[in-house]
Structure 1
Amino acid sequence: MRQQHLIATAAVGAAVALCVPFGATAASAAPSGRAAISDSQPDWVQHSAPTGTVDQNQQLSVKLYLAGQNQAGLAAAARAVSDPASPQYRHYLSPEQYRAQYAPSDNSLAAVRQFLAANNLHAGAVPDNRLYISATGSVADVQKAFGTSVRQYQKDGQTIRAAATQTTVPASLSGVVTAVSGIASVGNTMKNDHTVEGGTTTQPQRAATRSAKASPDAPPPPAFVPAPPCSDYFAQKPGTGLPTAYGQVPPYVTCGYTPAQLQGAYGLTRSVQHGFDGRGVTVAIVDAYAAPTILADANKYATDHGQPAFHGNQFKQTLPPSFSYGYDDKVNGDQCGEQGWYGEETLDVEAVHAVAPGANVNFVASASCNDSDFLDALNKIVDKKLANIVSNSWSSIGENEDPDLLQAYQQVFFQGALQGVGFYFSTGDDGDDSTVSDDHQPEINFPASDPLVTAVGGTSLAVTKSNGYGGETGWSTFSTTLTNGQWATPLAGTISGAAGGGTSKVFTQPWYQQGVVPGSISKKYSSTPARTIPDIAAVADANTGFRVGETQTFLDGSVKYAEYRIGGTSLSAPLTAGIMALADQVSGRPHGFVNPALYKLAGTGALHDVRGNLSIPAVARVNYNNSVDASAGTSTVLRTFNVKTSIWVRSGYDDVTGVGTPNGEAFLATLGFQH
């Protein structure tokens, strides 16, 4: 685990300073005449011995990331266009204006091209904003250019290529090249944040590079079928015959909320019916890979639930030239789980459309689950201005999974803020991450922790019989199994899913959180206040989750469409993005980076201040043991809501739900007309 530190907020009060984490190797460690740079290598390489050499003639594809111009001015400008109190509020730049003022300079690009040519590396694609330049060359030439050696390592039964020593460039490029990716055959990877039935879904992870335009290698994912009985709305169906829990017989879990129920619970029904349905606004969704049946599934789901199908060019996919770490990669092995990402795209698309049926949706696919591929997808959105709202249901585990590309990520987020593009990131489904991090210490996830994005936490939501708001509490659900006719003790059992949140160990407190976030949260690790997440929240608990429809592969080999219940902050993020599409339409212009405006709503009627418990403490659920039918038997579990962990809901801002959840028309109107 790399050393962590707090990146100081700029003295002018900008969103965040652009600098490289302390964990990166200092330039003084480089040989004379060379400057050390970050290279996107898995952390484990630093503690592993090489097991072999790499063919010196093997061709590698790398990306060199370049520093932008006027970084101090960039931070100040991002604050000015995002702060409702500023005269420059929502006076955005065009991509061309951004490039002229803040993108890496032509001279920097020319110097890097010269460096590549001198080392027999062939320069390739450069995005319009010059965030990076790609290059290809032999292993031998890459080693010479970057002053390192490339070796083979063994990890999880696979042979992985990586640089054995710190990457360097000539000292003349110090401050010009900020990072390089591609030397490692597998970089740091991101995971999706959806849960089925309260447990994190893990699909078979086999992979192979393939053409994005060809028929997908991966078939539709293994089927999941929720077992009956279940409730049509919260706590509708009593658990007759079940033992009591917390002094009462628990009702059965919901069957999964529909679009009408979510619109009703969040007070959006009348707005949507009157044409404030997101029309004219484009929401981009970023995930890895591309589900082959997504449009047919989303349209069937919508029409089956009384929603309009996507029409004309309302839905589109922006795909990379090829995918990697796909379905049957014999070299890299199980890295990404293509089928699981199919389910993620399905959830995200259907969730956005559920609350914003008039919004355009552009699915922008990452070529793999590798962090540099996700970064490329995000950059494509701001570089080509593909959308004003970007939903991201993925993250690392912890903040120190991706320190090497941090500066490049932040350049993209700064460009988004200046162009009126808002990024919404799920906070994860493992609470404070202490059960999944390598050192079992509390962590929060990146990119959600970045002060330039909106981190979306999760709740457990009650929807009434009339599709009304029946209350919310923080998502922290524990599971107990029915054994020999009795609930096992303790009733709360073990954690089955919880919204991510907590205090950053990397970023200091951004200006917009000052005066809203309690010191007991922001000063958890230091006397210096730190960035905390989430910023806002929506329903995420799979036990009060969303019903989705997806083409799946059943045990008998048949492939067909079916519906199931799903949750996770992968649900809350696209729901929030969809609600923001309505807010943008109401306002008549994009909100861009919305956090400063959101925090001004704290404590007002525009938000539900999530706290306490739901009307019942727990629900019962029946599971098929084989996930599909009763042929292998069933199991009954009790799911207890809002079990207090190291993060919990409380009055005002908290580290599970942030400033709260959107309160329908009051949220749309108040946010929409801030000036």
Structure 2
Amino acid sequence: MHLQEDTITVTVRLRRKKELPAPGNLLSREEYLNNYASSQEDADKVEAFAHEHLLSTVDVNLARRSVMLTGKLADFETAFGIKFKSHTNYRSFSPEVQVPDELTNIVVGVFGLDNKPIARPMFQVAKKNGKFISHAEASAAFTPDQLAKIYGFPQGVTGAGECIGIIELGGGFRTADITNYFKSLNIPKPGVKAIAVDGGKNAPTTSDGADGEVMLDIEVAGALAPGAKIAVYFTPNTDQGFLDAITTAIHDTTNKPSVISISWGSAEVNWTQQAMDNFNEAFKTAASLGISICIAAGDSGSSDSETDGKVHVDFPAASPYALSCGGTSLRVDGNTIVSEVVWHDSDTSASGGGVSSYFPLPDYQANANVPLELDTQFKGRGLPDVAADADPDTGYKVLVDGQQMVIGGTSAVAPLMAGLIALLNQQNGKPSGFINPKIYSTPGLCRDIVSGDNKTTSAGTGYTAGPGWDACSGLGVLSKL
């Protein structure tokens, strides 16, 4: 088939009716829809434009501020003034998208014209002699419920009445694994539901692929909060799929997640401005609706897998409306902590963290002594906010595709924090929501990590832990709110 005849589906993002109030002013879903979603009038104008160019409407969702259009590539070229280019594994386009003057202030993003993979999962598997380590061999590893006790997370609550949303850009889960894993822990099995977004689906493959991420997320969150429902949103690994899964989860009126865990991302330099802006606005919406967002800060230290010798931070963890989750290496004697330092295994394995080159320093970090970004000297948002065990050598005992594995990475910290927040929501009888301002202004909520660094650039630059907030362990290990 000729490229121009291919049919694609594109997400057009619309402006809000008016700007959201500052976080802390919680809105009901009805208030949000009536006052801060997109208007039907704006959606109608986008649809009229699309239909003029032979494009069809798939869906209009005013809460998600999205109009989904489908049509031939050739018709999208005409509509948006672009030309497509085919690559081996993806499609790109140039020049930048053009929209008619009457839509300039209405359209705030167009996603899906390109379909380049955008993110990677933030997990690392512990191996010995090239083979997975069994649970019996992993004397320094933990089950998630063990970690909950060691960290002093709330006991006597299960997350009942809460829903934990998990975003996955690949892989899948097997129900038999979930059943067997929780049986082995003697913990009730949580209810787990797969939700398809943009054609994504629960598609388990092999234990050394993205299934490791999916099962880590479900098993860690579920072991902490077995009474919570777990809704897993599967979507393609593109900026369109990622964003659509996030907005679907935030505005899911059936499952209503009160906390969302994300363990996928890549360095800020890999993202478009429209992507970072639209993701950030989605997380801002979540904050207004009382939904907490926990995101892995990265597994490659201060370089974030970039090879230019400069420091980089991971997105979407860099969003100021996310709880950015860094990594430590934890050693214990029984349930007593012997040492906990910044996770840093090698030149390529360490806690992500640093200072954003795109998002300015948020108000809640005004007194956190966040340094300027080392290369650009930008006064940016510092990450992570919190940290917890992420070293594969002291990692998490999980079951993936029938295989016992020990997995680390900040991928594990995001669902750990999501499970904790589900417990706190039940304990406190209300959603924790956007917790960043509270943890930065309330002493004693985090146990400070003061040793280690995440310097992984070829230039040897990065960040060192010390008293107070730092750009490799944040404020430290959160246990209460």
What TM-score does the superposition give when structure 1 sets the normalisation length? 0.66
What's 1:652 paired with?
468
> Match of 1:398, as an amino acid?
E
Counterpart AA for 1:145: A
Larger gyration radius, structure 1 or structure 2: 1
Pairwise CA distance, 1:423: 0.6
> Does structure 2 conserve the Cα–Cα contact (< 8 Å) formed by 1:612 and 1:650?
yes
CA shift, 1:323, in A, is: 3.0
Shift of 1:172: 1.2
Counterparts of 1:384 and 1:159 in 2: how far apart (Å)? 31
Q: Give yes or no for contact 2:297–2:384 (8 Å, CA) kept in 1.
A: yes
Using the alignment, how far apart are the partners of 2:42 and 2:67 within structure 1?
11
| Alpha-carbon shift at residue 95 of structure 1 (Å) | 2.0
8 Å CA contact 2:171, 2:204 repeated in 1? no
Deviations 1:10-52 (A, max 9, x none): xxxxxxxxxxxxxxxxxxxxxxxxxxxxxxxxxxxxxxxxxxx
Q: Please tell me the residue identity of whatever aligns with 1:109.
A: A
Equivalent in the alignment of 1:142: 76
Is 1:533 the counterpart of 2:383? The answer is yes
Contact 1:396/1:402 (<8 A) preserved: no
Q: CA deviation at 1:542?
A: 0.4
Question: Which residue is 1:308 aligned to?
Answer: 188
2:85–2:91 Cα contact (<8 Å) kept: yes
2:357, 2:373 within 8 Å by CA — same for their partners in 1? no
Query: 1:95 aligned to 2:95?
Result: no
1:381 aligns with 2:261: no
Report Cα offsets for 1:453-483 as digits up to 9, x if no partner. Answer: 1100010011222x232331111123xxxxx
Q: Deviations over 1:405-431 (max 9, x none)?
A: 223212311211111011110001000
User: Does the aligned pair in 2 maintain the 1:95–1:384 contact within 8 Å?
Assistant: no
Secondary structure at the residue paired with 1:125? strand
1:414 paired with 2:343, answer: no
Per the TM alignment, residue 117 of structure 1 is displaced from its structure 2 partner at its CA by: 1.3
Letter in 2 for 1:121: L
Other-structure match for 1:262: 147
1: distance between equivalents of 2:353 and 2:32? Answer: 32
Q: Kindly provide the CA deviation profile for residues 174-215 of structure 1, in whole angstroms up to 9, marking residues without a partner as x.
A: 12112222222x23411100001289xxxxxxxxxxxxxxxx
Matched residues, percent identical?
Answer: 28
In the alignment, what sits opposite 2:120?
Answer: 191
The aligned residue for residue 572 of structure 1 is 413
Deviation at 1:229, TM superposition (A): 8.5
1:635-646 correspondence to structure 2 within 5 Å? 646=462
Contact kept, 8 Å, 1:422 with 1:592, in 2: the verdict is: yes
Q: Show CA shifts across 1:303-336 (max 9, x none).
A: 21232223xxx322222363389899xxxxxxxx
Q: 1:65 aligns with which of 10, 13, 19?
A: 13
2:381 equivalent to 1:511 = no
SS in 2 for 1:267: coil
Rounded Cα–Cα distance in structure 2 between residues aligned with 1:389 and 1:325: 21
CA distance in 1, matches of 2:431, 2:9: 37
Number of aligned residues: 472
| Counterpart secondary structure, 2:22 | helix
In structure 1, the residue matched to 2:400 is: 550
The SS at the match of 2:147 is: helix
Corresponding residue number in structure 1 for 2:333:
464
User: Matched residue of 2:41: which SS?
Assistant: helix
Question: Following the alignment from structure 1 to structure 2, what is the Cα–Cα distance between the partners of residues 159 and 573?
Answer: 30
One-letter amino acid of the structure 2 residue matched with residue 117 of structure 1: H
**Which one-letter code corresponds to 1:278 in the other structure?**
G
1:157-236 paired onto structure 2 within 5 Å? 158=88, 160-184=90-114, 186-197=115-126, 224-226=131-133, 230=137, 232=139
2:442 is matched with 601
| Amino acid across the alignment from 2:181 | Y
Aligned twin of 1:109: 43
Gaps of 5+ in 2: 453-459
Q: Is 1:278 aligned to 2:176, yes or no?
A: no
Distance in 2 separating the partners of 1:574 and 1:590: 17
Structure 2: which amino acid aligns with 1:164?
A: S
Change (3 A) 1:344 1:231: closer
Map of 1:501 onto structure 2: 353
In 2: Cα distance, 1:95 partner to 1:229 partner:
47
Contact 2:197–2:241 (Cα < 8 Å) also in 1: no
Aligned-partner residue type, residue 661 of structure 1? V
Match of 1:126 in 2: 60
Taking a change above 3 Å as real, the CA distance of residues 150 and 427 of structure 1, as seen in their structure-2 partners, is same
CA positional deviation for 1:78: 3.3
**Partners of 1:289 and 1:365 within 8 A in 2:** yes
Letter aligned with residue 411 of structure 1: E
CA gap of 1:59–1:291, structure 2 versus 1, over 3 A, is closer
**How far off is 1:601 after superposition?**
2.9
Residues 228 and 544 of structure 1: CA distance in aligned 2, closer, same or farther (over 3 Å): closer
1:369 lines up with 2:241 in the alignment: no
Is residue 151 of structure 1 aligned with residue 85 of structure 2? yes
Decide whether aligned partners of structure 1 residues 650 and 292 sit closer, same or farther in structure 2, where only a CA change above 3 A counts: closer
Give the 5 Å matches for 1:342-491: 342-366=211-235, 368-385=236-253, 386-433=256-303, 436-465=305-334, 467-478=335-346
How many angstroms apart in 2 are the aligned matches of 1:404 and 1:105?
20
Matching residue's letter, 1:404: Q
Give the Cα–Cα distance (whole angstroms) in 2 for the partners of residues 378 and 64 of structure 1.
15
Contact 2:120 2:266 in 1 (8 A): yes
Q: Displacement, 1:399?
A: 4.4
Aligned partner of residue 79 in structure 1, secondary structure: coil
State the alpha-carbon separation in 2 of the partners of residues 348 and 448 from structure 1. Answer: 16
How far, CA to CA, are the matches of 2:218 and 2:91 in structure 1?
A: 35
TM-score (norm 2): 0.91
CA shift, 1:68, in A, is 1.4
**What's the counterpart of residue 299 of structure 1?**
179
Measure the CA separation in 1 of the matches of 2:265 and 2:272.
Answer: 10
Change (3 A) 1:292 1:528: closer
SS at match of 1:477: coil
SS at match of 1:439: coil
Q: How far did 1:227 drift?
A: 6.8
**Residue 662 of structure 1 pairs with residue 466 of structure 2:** no
Q: Residue 226 of structure 2 aligns to a residue in which SS?
A: coil
SS at structure 2 position matched to 1:60: strand
In structure 2, relative to structure 1, the CA distance for the partners of 1:597 and 1:137 (3 Å cut) is same
> Equivalents in 2 of 1:449, 1:225: separation in Å?
32
Cα distance in 2 for partners of 1:458, 1:348 equals 15
